[in-house]
Amino acid sequence: MFFLIYIYVIKNIDDLSRLSFTAETGLIADRLIIFQLLLFLKAFFFG
């Protein structure tokens, strides 16, 4: 269930970043956001 929310959030962030950034900075922002979400998930499940 939580994983579905996670996928939904990433999809929306991806769409937003494409609208609000150039391609290059959008990719960098996506990587940073996904990295932060992965850290959150790690803390949430294993913390």
- pLDDT at 32 (0 to 100): 80
- pLDDT at 10 (0 to 100): 72
Q: Rounded distance, CA 47 to CA 30, Å?
A: 24
Nearest to 16 by CA among 8, 5, 39: 8
Domain locations in the chain?
A: 2-46
The DSSP letter of residue 21 is: S
Answer whether 4's CB lies under 8 Å from 39's CB: no
Is this structure's pTM higher than 0.85? no
- pLDDT at 21 (0 to 100): 54
Tokens read off for 4: 């579905």
Nearest to 3 by CA among 33, 41, 46, 31: 41
- pLDDT at 44 (0 to 100): 81
Question: Could you read off the pLDDT of 1-47 as tens digits, one per residue?
Answer: 567 777 777 777 666 666 555 556 667 777 788 888 888 888 888 86
